[in-house]
Chains A and B, each alone.
Chain A
């Protein structure tokens, strides 16, 4: 049975509802139209554009120490490039780094670990290997999982990785 993709405006509303005031980002084609462009125009967010994703891991940690909630928006290639910073700062230091990760190239309806795309299929086992909790978000209604995941991350001071399986619908 076919399903509808998530809606960007519902994701953005969930971020606001969870108290996220900062979005730290590198552009990702999966989330560009539905998330990053609207967020860049939204006065409720302070957007920090970074040059490399591991910067964002540390920026989110620094913001958390300053009592601010943030998400790091990136593509899975940037996640893979940042594994050492995530391993140390987010996982070992137990910091509430919340990552929204577009799975560029993933086939709709296929769970990430089962993807035929090598750069997608390796993501869940790598996250498991570094003990980083992750959720797969893809269809309408999955937006409802975002707020609780963020609340748990900040309540427990633990990172979480939200894997966005296909482009959400732009507002």
Chain B
């Protein structure tokens, strides 16, 4: 089990010009750890972060896209795994922070939380490069391949809350946030 913010801090050391699509608690931690215009946090509706990311990735196959998803969010959109497998974007890495609960909405448990195996679900949907990461050392070792290997890549990150992050929903939903992302993403050669 990793502290989520410690895991994301490791990722932040390796991220350069990738688009990072992040949702809920992962987004709040990520914005604290790696504030940058190439963060895409205006997801709008729970569950569809990976779908936003798929659109970005298909539209710019020359650029890398990383999704920081949540397990409750992914449960709302499990079909997206089959959609991603079908579209097969080589430039998409899907990281799911597995904490077993709806942390942003009272920390209620997920259904079947003790039985869920998201890597197995991803493999079953057709994503061959899927696995589970439980330690910081393992994650640090895998990050370069996750960011630069042939996608689609899927990793379930077993996490628990770390230091608290401000839940800045105004920033997430703000038009200026999207304008800055679009300008930065469009400016990449």
Contact = CB atoms under 8 A, between A and B. Distances in A.
B104 interface: no
Contacts of B77: 52, 54-55
Interface stretch (A32-40, A64-72, A132-140): A64-72
B40 A65 contact: yes
Interface residues of A, number: 31
Contacts of A58: 43-45, 48-49, 51-52, 54-55
Interface residues of B, number: 32
A20 to B, nearest CB: 13
Q: Is the interface of B mostly helix, strand, loop or mixed?
A: helix
Interface string B51-69: 1111111111000000000
Given A48-B83, A49-B86, A62-B51, A68 B59 contact: yes
B152 interface: no
Contacts, number: 110
Interface of A: 22, 46, 48-52, 54-68, 70, 84-85, 87-89, 92-94
26 contacts: A46-B58, A50-B51, A51-B83, A54-B51, A54-B77, A55-B79, A56-B51, A58-B43, A58-B44, A59-B52, A61-B52, A62-B53, A62-B57, A62-B58, A62-B59, A63-B56, A65-B55, A65-B59, A66-B55, A66-B185, A88-B45, A89-B42, A89-B48, A92-B173, A93-B42, A93-B175
